[in-house]
Structure 1
Amino acid sequence: MAGSSSTVPEVLIETPRSSVLSLDFERLKKTISEYLRPEDVGRVEAAYHFAAQAHSGQFRISGEPYITHPVAVTELVAGWRLDAQALTAALLHDVMEDTTVAKQEIADRFGKVTAELVDGLSKLDKIEFRSQEEAQAENFRKMLLAMASDLRVILIKLADRLHNMRTLDYVRPSKQRRIASETLEIYAPIANRLGLNALYRELQELSFMHKYPMRYRVLAKAIRAARGNRREVVSKVLAAIEERLPQWGIAAEIQGREKHLYGIYRKMLEKRLSFSQVLDIYGFRVIVTDTATCYLALGALHGLYKPVPGKFKDYIAIPKGNGYQSLHTTLIGPFGTPVEVQIRTHEMHHIAETGVASHWLYKEDEKTLSELQHKTTSWLQSLLELQNASGDSAEFLEHVKIDLFPGEVYVFSPKGKIFSMPRGSTSVDFAYAVHTDVGNRCVACRINAELMPLRTELRNGDQVEIITAAHASPNPAWLSYVRTGKARAQIRHFLKNVQQEESSALGERLLNQALRPHGLTLGQISIFAWDRFLRDRGVRNRKEIFTDIGLGKRLPVIVARRLAEAQDMETGRPDVVKPKPAGAILIRGSEGIAVQLAKCCQPIPGDPIIGIIRKGQGLEVHVHDCPTIQRLRGERGRWVDVEWEHTDGRHFDVSIRVLTHDARGVLAKVANAIAENNANIQHVRMDSEQVPYSSLQFTLQVTDRIHLARLLKGIRRIPEVVRIMRTRGDGTVS
């Protein structure tokens, strides 16, 4: 199969069964004739003949002519009553991959729009990738971005995947499991995000069956046995509902439903339950005429059976992110059995089953867009934002996967606007959901009018106010607790840009230092020498070289040597040039991401220091006797002479250990001495030593080594202090 591509591309040689083939298309033609104009039906028929000719001689693993697959996909698409362009693209969705037909030929025969749809459904087979994972990620990226510009791409793709899942029995078991996992991770969540509930459930069931065949069979057998045991309960509940609703003047369609196997399996897994402990296997759906009757029916059922506290959800007042609306309640039925009931209108039921496919999203004028369409449009737009913020296809796919899981927490802005967020979201996620600029500038938050940490997880009903500052910027620590793909992508995007700018500036300083032994400075390197150097290495500009040096991807001494050689070729300088001292890179301690003070030894101004260029991380500054640099002595060309630059007001972290007599109030005395010497306490820990001693571990902020010496002298004056020492970041004595 090509469009979903990872599924059944193998070809078998067998005699075509043309009678089956013609019956398939005749059935499709009858379906589309009910809602398409005759000329559009003719266009679809022409596409069928073109596809049949293109796939002539190709067969599926099942032995059927390959054209049966595009026809089956088109039948599914026709069930959503999509237009002739979409049906034509569905019939042709594999011809660009599996045959010699080119995109231009499709455009000439069936129009540019159809050709774009087919192209969006086609794999990137012509490009070489480093790994299967990279190829898969790039294919998904292409498909999702095509979907963002035309929703019909993903509707056809989902129909394609569904038919392949229905015919997955013919594929070898290892491939079945891989495709099933891919479907559970990507395609089923996309179907759910678009509100295609029936498709979502079927994809889950088929994936479960092929990924865990033994578990599926055991659970299916248990369900069949449970039907007999619980038939009496179901019959009683159904009869009671059918009797109660008319008494309240409610005309309703009542459906009994059995929970899907995958839903039961996931509940057992998440809540660590055995099958016998999962009681709410059966549920009921009450479909009424209007919204007001939904709430009336809810009152009638709550009067019939007692509701379970905390198990009521109103998705009518606050719809899910995919537009789903219903009232959900769980009742205690006969024999104490919990019974789940969903109450909705006929229109809500239609949207719940067919979702955005029931709307002509790509045709409607913006003024007539429904709330569901607005939400879908917003989500598709967010895909484009994720693409712009993501560095590569794998990162993009990671962010999309995060956002595909439905939001379960509903929070409010100060103006009362509702935001649907994934469970576990924080105030930072909310800030980015409001706007990227709000996220990038947030410094604090108020939740329900109280100042709270930015990492606080949001709960249903929280009112969140974000406090911003003009010069604030994202903190790398946010990545450890943000939940949404948008927040994660935008933070990474910002930090990456900042790192590139800082790395470029650092690389320029390092290269200038490395050129001095050659008797040169950057200002003396001619345009000719630069052009020759860049051309030989296939690099676009100098900034790229500077950034690579700053990130440790290129060694400045080697770049300097090559630039000096290129300069000599132009100027004809003598080979022997009086070298100049290289000079040291000045460290202020506030350079940002590109220059980092090592956490293992915590250097502060006044300490003798040395720098090493770490690949992908920039310049790391250590004290001279740090054990870490002893292990790295062999990395020639990566060591850099560095010195402290005089700065005022900058504070640096340093760790000390104070051994004291175990006396009352000693911690307060030490803390007071620290405060009197104008130092900040970042962290403190107290450990019990052998009686009668205690050990106080402090992380302090000081300006330099002189400040630290003055501070230690002040602490030594305390009578209870036995010993005081500076420690490294790892706790060892320095």
Structure 2
Amino acid sequence: MDNKLNDFKASITKYLSKKEVASLMTVFDFSNEAHKGQLRSSGQPFISHPLEVAFIVAELEQDYETIAAALLHDTVEDSDVSTEDVASKFGQKIAELVNGVSKIGQLSFDSKEEQQAENYRKMIVAMAKDIRVIIVKLADRTHNMRTLKHLPKQKQLRIAQETRDIYAPLANRLGMATLKWELEDLCFYYLEYDEFQKIKKMVVSKRKERESYIKTLVKSVEKLLVEASIDAQIFGRPKHFYSIYKKLSSQAINFDQLFDMLGIRILVESVRDCYVILGLLHSTYKPVHGRFKDYIAVPKSNMYQSLHTTVLALDGKPVEMQIRTKDMDQIAEFGVAAHWTYKEGQKSSDAKDEFTWLRQMVDLQKEKSNSKDFLNDLKYDLFMDEVFTYTPKGDVIVMSAGATVIDFAYYIHTEIGHCCSGGKVNGQMVPINHVLENGDQVDILTSKNNKPHIDWLNFAASRQARSKIKAWFKRQSSDILIKKGEEKLSQIMLTIGYPLKEVLKNLDMSKVLDRFHVKDINALYLNIGQGELSSMQVGRHITKLMGLKDNTKVTPSKVIKPARTLKKSSQSAVTVFGQLGVLYTLAKCCKPLPGDDIEGIVTIEKGVSVHQSKCRNILNLSESTKERLVPVEWDSLQSEASFTATLQIEAFERIGILEDIISRISASNLNMVNLNSKILKGGTVMRMLVVVEVKNAEAIKILGAQIKQVSDVVSIKRV
């Protein structure tokens, strides 16, 4: 006990003033008196625990108030001391820190979901109020894990599981690698003891060989840097058991294949030296392709900065090199504890700004009314990896691994997300569900007619995007969505050939409701309106129940609906020299329609061939052929004539895209003659050729504008 107290005093004497050291000794005496007569499960005096916690905090070089709170953190909960007593004796700020740590200590994270979510909320709020609360709590949990062997087995497992689920990921998100590694390895020991021992045996069996190799390599690198007149500290980098276990499990490789089992760290004074050393290493040893990462230029969200590169070093063995400045190393090891400094009781604002993750989580807990959603989003955020992407202007956007274009859009702005129709990644058009990778430059495409689809939740990876999509749908009136669903089903039934009103009269709809697990017809419409059910799927089930023929034949390759016979009057829709009855044909190359500007050219067998004036076959006529041009006009009296027109549509491939387009055609009261579709090379864009009957060019123009409003439609043109 006396030895630990001496170690503690030596640790704080290194960087605190004599006055602060003396004050902390007074705090220790107060805590010792408060816990007098109390014992830990190990049989040691209770004061040994707050002293160990304070020592861990001191090793992180925290300020006087944080260390005082560590010494006092159990007094309010486990003794007769009150928060008021602490405030009276040591000041309000220390009392608030002690109170914050005590409250987090009372939270249970293995409780029922609702209570568990509420406890997470309280922890996030406490962290946001003063980050030092969680620094003390992490130190507290670290010492409790070190002494876990003195507790019953069941309690060991519960505490270890909670630590792995909550505190180790939290330490990682706050950049406190030193505590994170220790907590993970301790949890590994208790939760998967047999696997722990296997990994330990593998590591120990090759320790001498590994240490000898690293020692030789360090000397080789030292010589290289001395010759370059660079002052640096070089040492072997330890690998942690749980990290080894995770890599062996996830990558299906054996122990000898681990790239970064061998590693060294190089610490220098300047950023310039980091890059100079990188160049020296790459010119001396062969770099391994795809194993270089520049976290100096693009820091992680927990402020981690370093250069990582794997090279084939001595004997061709892969070795991971980490190169960073000494200041960067402090941040890498201690994270927020190193960065979150206090001057005269004021938080350093730059640290707070850099921890956008914490600020976003505070915002999230405010806006989430659903505890399950909040819980899932928080757990996802704690464990997520990151990818670094760029805006067209070169700004860095850090996204969670697995993030898609729609996540990027919502990160930029809520309305950008709502209107997102796709994106350009590294100059290539991609759909909104395209998964982003490190280094991608992302340019978001928007359409004012676009709005969120419920299926976006299937590929939106970030809690921010998912939250905003759900919020948008919650704001939509259920009445509007019910009406929308009814209209969609009605349109699809018309397309199939059986009006919905007739279906409702003649079919027992309870069979339909049972099939789609909804309580009534309005719930069915609501599900269709929200996008949770496909109207095409419901329509097909209805036709099956009625024993009717489904005329749509919707498949990925073809959709056909029998066409009406074209009216003969269409053969007299054009006048030549102002006269009806002259033999003519409508050119297949440009398929003119009433309302188009047209030109006629006399042919040998087909009379006058009628083209659009802008047809390239007309524009490219030779001078001699132009002599065969004759004046032609549309006959304004032939209003009942029907013509076929073709639209070429390109859209991002998604569930329901054909259905949405067919619904627009059906709503236009035009007869669809044919619809062919195919997936273009790359697998993300679908091209459709839609043939419809129209009276004139204006009708096809209006239809095109309607289809253009369908989400994920990229382009549309008449062909």
Q: Same fold (TM over 0.5)?
A: yes
2:437 matched to which residue of 1? 459
The answer to whether the aligner puts 1:442 opposite 2:326 as a matched pair is: no
Give 1:602-613 correspondences, 5 Å limit: 605-607=500-502, 609=504
More off after superposition, 432-441 vs 284-293: 432-441
* 2:214 is aligned with 1:242: no
Aligned to 1:384: 362
Alignment pair present for 1:86 and 2:66: yes
Find the residue that maps to 2:272 and give its secondary structure: helix
1:646-690, Cα deviation, whole Å (9 max, x unpaired): xxxxx9644479789x9xxx957648789979999999x9xxxxx
Aligned partners of 1:361 and 1:373 also within 8 Å? no
The reply to whether residue 308 of structure 1 matches residue 288 of structure 2 is: yes
Structure 1 match to 2:146: 166
Aligned counterpart in structure 2 of residue 323 of structure 1, from 293, 303, 306:
303
Q: Name the CA distance, whole Å, in 2 between partners of 1:337 and 1:383.
A: 43
Residue matched to 1:354: 334
Distance in structure 1 (CA, Å) of the matches to 2:138 and 2:525: 60
Q: 1:627 maps to which residue?
A: 511
1:22-75 C-alpha deviation (Å, 9 max, x unpaired): 654454344334444455445544443443344344322111222221221112
Percent of pairs identical after alignment? 37
Separation in 1, partners of 2:176, 2:525: 63
Aligned length: 574
Name which of 343, 346, 354 aligns with 1:375: 354
Find the counterpart in structure 1 of residue 697 from structure 2.
none
**Cα distance in 1, alignment partners of residues 307 and 127 from structure 2:** 31
C-alpha offsets along residues 560-616 of structure 1, whole Å, 9 cap, x if unaligned? Answer: xxxxxxxxxxxxxxxxxxxxxxxxxx9633599xx9999999997425559xxxxxx
CA distance, structure 1, for counterparts of residue 276 and residue 80 of structure 2: 61
Q: Distance in 1 between matches of 2:436 and 2:72?
A: 47
Return the offset for 1:401. Answer: 2.3
Secondary structure at the counterpart of residue 206 of structure 2: helix
* Partner of residue 588, structure 1: 483
CA 1:681/1:67 → structure 2, altered by over 3 Å: closer, same or farther? same
Residues 1:48 and 1:596: Cα distance change in structure 2 (over 3 Å) = farther
**Could you list the per-position Cα deviations for residues 601-658 of structure 1 after superposition, in whole angstroms to 9, with x for gaps in the alignment?**
9997425559xxxxxxxxxxx96434144699998xx7989999xxxxxx96444797
Which residue number in structure 2 is paired with residue 614 of structure 1? none
CA contact (8 A) 1:286 1:343 kept: yes
Aligned to 1:412: 390
Over 3 Å counting, the alpha-carbon distance change for 1:700 and 1:316 in structure 2 is closer
Among residues 255, 261, 268, which one is paired with 2:235 in the alignment?
Answer: 255
Q: d(CA) in 1 for partners of 2:419 and 2:516? A: 39
Q: How has the CA–CA distance of structure 1 residues 251 and 172 changed in structure 2, closer, same or farther, with 3 Å as cutoff?
A: same
1:430 aligns with 2:325: no
8 Å Cα contact 2:108-2:116 kept in structure 1:
no
Displacement of 1:402: 1.9
Q: Distance in 1 between matches of 2:380 and 2:524?
A: 43
- Quote the Cα distance in structure 2 between the aligned partners of 1:127 and 1:401: 16
8 Å contact kept, 2:418–2:452: yes
1:448 to 1:596, Cα distance in 2 relative to 1, 3 A = same
Q: Which amino acid aligns with 2:280?
A: A
SS at match of 1:415: coil
Q: Is the 8 A contact 2:493 2:499 kept in 1?
A: no
Q: Is this contact kept in 1: 2:404–2:434, CA < 8 A?
A: yes
Shift of the 102–393 alpha-carbon distance from structure 1 to 2, 3 Å rule, reads: farther
CA distance in 1 between partners of 2:344 and 2:360 (Å):
20
- SS of the residue 1:258 aligns to: coil
Contact 1:605 1:705 in 2 (8 A): no
- Alignment-mate amino acid for residue 456 of structure 1: H
Q: Residues 682-713 of structure 1: CA distance to partner in whole angstroms, max 9, x if unpaired?
A: 99x9xxxxxxxxxxx98984489999998799
Q: Indicate the residue corresponding to 2:52 in structure 1.
A: 72
Amino acid paired to 1:588: K
Equivalent AA in structure 2 for residue 374 of structure 1: D
1:63 is paired with a residue of what secondary structure? coil
Distance 1:239-1:103 versus aligned 2 partners, 3 A rule: closer
Letter aligned with residue 397 of structure 1: L
Q: Which amino acid aligns with 2:300?
A: K
In the TM superposition, 1:33-72 aligns within 5 A as: 33-37=13-17, 40-41=20-21, 43-72=23-52
CA drift of 1:449 comes to 3.4
AA matched with 2:483: R
CA-CA distance at 1:482 after TM superposition: 1.8
User: Taking structure 1 as reference, are residues 623 and 300 closer, same or farther at Cα in structure 2, changes over 3 Å only?
Assistant: farther
- Structure 2 contact 63–342 (Cα < 8 Å) conserved: no
Q: How does 1:176-325 map to 2 (within 5 A)?
A: 176-230=156-210, 233-278=213-258, 280-325=260-305
Is the Cα contact below 8 Å between 1:73 and 1:160 reproduced in 2? yes
Q: Distance in 1 between matches of 2:73 and 2:431?
A: 50
1:223–1:633 distance in 2 versus 1, CA, 3 Å: closer
- Give the 5 Å matches for 1:621-700: 624-629=508-513, 653=536, 654-655=539-540, 667=558, 670=561
Instruction: Check the 8 A contact 1:600/1:628 in 2, yes or no.
Output: no
CA distance in 1, matches of 2:311, 2:109: 54
Matched, 1:398 2:282: no
1:242 shift after superposition: 2.6
Q: Following the alignment from structure 1 to structure 2, what is the Cα–Cα distance between the partners of residues 673 and 362?
A: 81
8 Å Cα contact 1:320/1:407 also seen in 2: no
What is the TM-score when the length of structure 1 is the normalising length? 0.67
Asked if 1 retains the 8 angstrom alpha-carbon contact of 2:491 and 2:667, the reply is: no
Structure 1 residues 91-100 or 327-336, which shifts more?
91-100
Paired with 2:387 and 2:413, the residues of 1 have a C-alpha distance of: 18
* Aligned counterpart, 1:145: 125
Amino acid at match of 1:89: A
TM-fit CA distance, 1:479: 1.8
Distance 1:404 1:421 in 2: 13
The superposition leaves residues 111-136 of structure 1 with CA deviations (integer Å, 9 ceiling, x where unpaired) of: 33333323322347999999445444
Q: Aligned partners of 2:70 and 2:247: how far apart in 1?
A: 36
Give 1:457 shift. 0.6
| CA 1:39–1:232: 2 relative to 1, 3 Å | closer
Q: Measured at CA, do residues 600 and 182 of structure 1 come closer, stay the same or move farther in structure 2, by a change above 3 Å? A: farther
TM, length-normalised to structure 2: 0.68
Which amino acid counterpart does residue 589 of structure 1 have in structure 2?
A: K
Stretches of structure 1 lacking an aligned partner (at least 5 in a row) = 1-19, 507-585, 611-621, 645-650, 686-696, 715-734
CA distance in 2, matches of 1:267, 1:356: 26
Partner Cα separation in structure 1 for residue 366 and residue 486 of structure 2:
27
1:217-256 Cα shifts (integer Å, max 9, x gaps): 1111111112244455434423322332222222322102
Is the contact made by 2:562 and 2:673 (CA closer than 8 Å) also made in structure 1?
Answer: no
| Range that drifts further, 306-315 or 175-184 | 175-184
Distance in 1 between residues matched to 2:209 and 2:107, nearest whole Å: 57
Paired with 1:134 and 1:461, the residues of 2 have a C-alpha distance of 39
Which stretches in structure 2 are left out of the alignment for 5+ residues? 527-533, 566-642, 676-719
User: How far 1:453 moved relative to its partner?
Assistant: 1.0
| Equivalent position amino acid for 2:458 in 1 | S
Deviation per CA, 1:393-426: give whole Å up to 9, x if none. 4432322222234543211112211112222111
Measured after TM superposition, the shift of residue 325 of structure 1 is: 1.7
What do residues 486-505 of structure 1 show as CA deviations (whole Å, max 9, x unaligned)? Answer: 22333334434x26xx35x7
